[in-house]
Amino acid sequence: MILAKKPSTSVRNGVCLLQNTTSFCNKQYTRVLELKEKNDYEMKRKKHTSGDDEAQIDMTPMLDIVFIMLIFFIVTTSFVKEKGLDVNRPDENQSNNNQPSKSLSIRIDANGIITMGGREVDVRRVVANAQTFLAENNTDSAAIQADKDTEHGLVVEVMNQVKIAGIDKVSVLVKDS
């Protein structure tokens, strides 16, 4: 018994290599051409898109940067706090009392010597002397006259002592030597 060999064909680069039959090769060749035409059509369709898509600019990166800068400036400005003393200024339309009130007068010279009512006083005794003055006089203000060479820490300590004594309105005057 002799077995018949199956015809072997192949298609390479659009050329059919015939070995036993031509009809089988022609079918494969036409199939290859159909696939190639379909692939070319799809590639052409993908390359030619509408002109509107190419003209758009992506704004997302720019908006991201703008929001990051906005957050940076908000955070940095919220932590900036100026240092200083709180000043209570009188209102412009506040009526002046016609009764002159006597205010507590405290002098501090360049050497740091504190004088109240003509007597030298230690910084720890300012509270007691201010309370004595308040008991004798009806006042709510004090004036501290300091030399320009006086240490600021001493002036602030005297201000704190006067406020502890119960006087809320404290003014500071600076005199030249």
**Domain-by-domain residue ranges, the chain?**
10-46, 104-175
The pLDDT of residue 86 is 75
**Mean pLDDT, residues 118-145 taken together:** 87
Q: What is the pLDDT of residue 66?
A: 95
What are residue 171's DSSP bridge partners? 143
Does 11 have pLDDT greater than 90? no
| Structure-token pair, residue 119 | 């007597």
Q: Write down the pLDDT at residue 51.
A: 55
CA gyration radius, the chain: 49
User: Which range, of 26-30, 136-140, 170-174, averages the lowest pLDDT?
Assistant: 26-30
Q: What is the mean pLDDT of the chain?
A: 77
d(CA 168, CA 162): 8
Report the phi/psi class of residue 123: left, alpha or beta, with left for phi > 0 and alpha for psi in -120 to 50: alpha
- At 99 the pLDDT is 56
104-175 — its CATH code?
3.30.420.270
Q: Are 168 and 131 in contact (CB under 8 A)?
A: no
The answer to whether residues 147 and 177 touch, using CB atoms and an 8 Å cutoff, is yes
Average pLDDT over residues 3-32: 57
Q: Grade residue 107 by pLDDT with cuts at 50, 70 and 90.
A: very high
**Would you state the pLDDT for residue 52?**
53
The two three-digit tokens of residue 169, written as one number? 């309105």
Q: Which pair of structure tokens corresponds to residue 100? A: 């002159």
Q: State the burial class of residue 73 (Cβ atoms within 10 Å of its Cβ: 0-12, 13-18, 19+).
A: exposed
